[in-house]
Structure 1
Amino acid sequence: METQLKAYQVQGYDNGVLVFATNGATARRKGANELDEEFQDIEFCRRAHWADEYASTGHVPIRAYLDNGWWITCGGCGRVVDQDRIDDGDDCGGDPMAPVIVGAWIYCTSSCHDREVAIDKDRHDTEIATRAEAEAKFPGCTVARYYVLADMEARIPTVDLSVPGLQRTAQWRRGEDYVRVVEEDIEAFDRYRAKYKEAA
């Protein structure tokens, strides 16, 4: 029985993956699972000898994918990045394609990467500010969870608060002066609010 892992390219309907397995049938099954497709719907499963050297770690560097004819989606704007587009200097929002690789991510240009970093920083700063504002507005409560609610008009920073005396968390949306609680917690929240109003 063969036990050495080998690299296989598994191609589904729209996308392909690289997997490591001891044989083609196992590779096809693993690839189908990763692509969320049925085993019989895989278009092909073939050896990718160039990637065998990465079998021990299971991690293939992005540069190796590009060097071997694969394309990868930009982590910022979603453009397709491949060696042909890089060589041709394809236009990426006014800049020629010159990829920036950061860990497991690729960005088509440094400006695309910088935009994504700024967006991530803004998200992080908004989360920190929302958590602090909620805990200041509702003394004695702690933020159990932070998330963003999105509707047609806005993205609203939101927290679920652990409030003393409540059975469930209360929801507070940044910019509002009230919280949402389940019906069975209304009286307990009123008692909490009265207690902190007296203390203030």
Structure 2
Amino acid sequence: MTSEPTLQAYSVSDDEHAMVVFGYTPQHAARLGGSHFGLEAEDVITDRAPEFDEYAAAGHVTGMQYLAHGWWMTCTQCQREVSRDRADELATDIEVGLSDEAPMEPQEHAGHLYCSLACREADLAERARRIQARADAEQATLARFPGVTIVDVHSLHTTPHVVFQLPGTDGWTGQLGWTVGQDILTASPAAHEAYRTYQEALK
């Protein structure tokens, strides 16, 4: 009687980045890794990583689990390299006065890894700011251009630029762009005609 295939952990790499995937065969793992990196299966390096088999049921490996197995990660906020070895080395250097870097105390939140609580809080605060900035930009757009549909909001780190769809239109011929607070709209010639029709309807 043939046994059911078992998911196993494999390390897959594109020569610059690496991750762990769970596959039934090396070929299956290579396809999964290649898909993640935007490569063909034969273009990724695939090796068994049995130390991660215990996470197969979860289907993924967390940042803290990677660190526990000796891998290094990058802090989402400051891009500092994070690893157990680096944290230990840094603690020693700080203790003897050889480094003025902040201590490395890895944190994880919602799939993001941070080198410290300070970096985690800073990143969460910036994410909250962008969410609020988007909401404010959408509200300002709807107040300035009643009845339009928001398509996208860009440049949340500076002055938001909103792309919106005019009512009764479809596709790019009815889309315009507006940088919040400015008097200039960006649009194709066809959209300009649609905008004139929209303005007439508001009168």
TM-score interval for Structure 1 and Structure 2 normalised by the shorter chain = 0.7 to 0.9
Partner of 1:157: 160
1:119 to 118, 122, 126: 126
Which residue is 1:25 aligned to? 27
Consecutive unaligned residues of structure 1, counting only runs of 5 or more, are: none
Change (3 A) 1:160 1:56: same
The TM-score, its normalising length taken from structure 1, stands at: 0.81
Q: CA deviation at 1:166?
A: 4.3
Distance 1:144 1:10, change over 3 A: closer
Tell me the CA shift for residue 163 of structure 1: 2.0
Moved more, 30-39 or 134-143: 30-39
Counterparts of 2:199 and 2:158, CA distance in 1? 27
Q: TM-score by structure 2 length? A: 0.80
Secondary structure at 1:46 match in 2: strand
Q: State which of 190, 193, 200 in structure 1 corresponds to 2:199.
A: 193
After superposition, the Cα gap between the structure-2 partners of 1:187 and 1:30, relative to the gap in structure 1 and judged at 3 Å, is closer
Unaligned runs of at least 5 residues, structure 2: none
Deviation track 1:106-153 (CA, whole Å, cap 9, x = no partner) reads 10111111111121122111111111111111123232322228xxxx
**Residue of structure 2 in register with 1:183 after alignment:** 189
- Give deviations 1:14-58, integer Å, cap 9, x for gaps: 122212122233323433333344545444x33222211111221
Shift of 1:83: 0.7
Amino acid across the alignment from 2:110: G
User: Does residue 98 of structure 2 align to residue 95 of structure 1?
Assistant: no
Amino acid at match of 2:185: V
Q: Secondary structure at the match of 2:15?
A: coil
Q: Distance in 2 between matches of 1:37 and 1:185?
A: 38
Say whether residues 1:129 and 2:131 are aligned partners. Answer: no
CA distance 1:142–1:81, change in 2 (3 Å): same
Provide, for residues 161-181 of structure 1, a one-character-per-residue CA deviation record: whole Å limited to 9, x for no partner: 222354512211112123233
Worse overlay, 67-76 or 172-181: 172-181
86-95 vs 14-23, greater mean Cα deviation:
86-95
Instruction: Flag the 1:165–1:41 CA change in 2: closer, same or farther, 3 A.
Output: closer
Alignment match, 1:86: 87
Distance 1:82 1:103 in 2: 19
SS of 2:185 mapped into structure 1: coil
Secondary structure of the residue that 1:59 maps to in structure 2?
coil
Aligned length: 192
* Structure 1 match to 2:8: 6
**Any idea what SS the aligned residue of 1:113 has?**
helix
Q: What percentage of residue pairs aligned between the two structures are identical? A: 30
Q: Output one character per residue of 1:70-122: Cα deviation in whole Å (capped at 9) or x when no partner.
A: 11111111111111012223689842111111131110111111111121122
Paired amino acid for 2:26? G
Instruction: Say which SS state the counterpart of residue 19 (structure 2) adopts.
Output: strand
Gap change, CA 1:40 and 1:143, over 3 Å in 2: closer
1:16 maps to a residue whose letter is: A
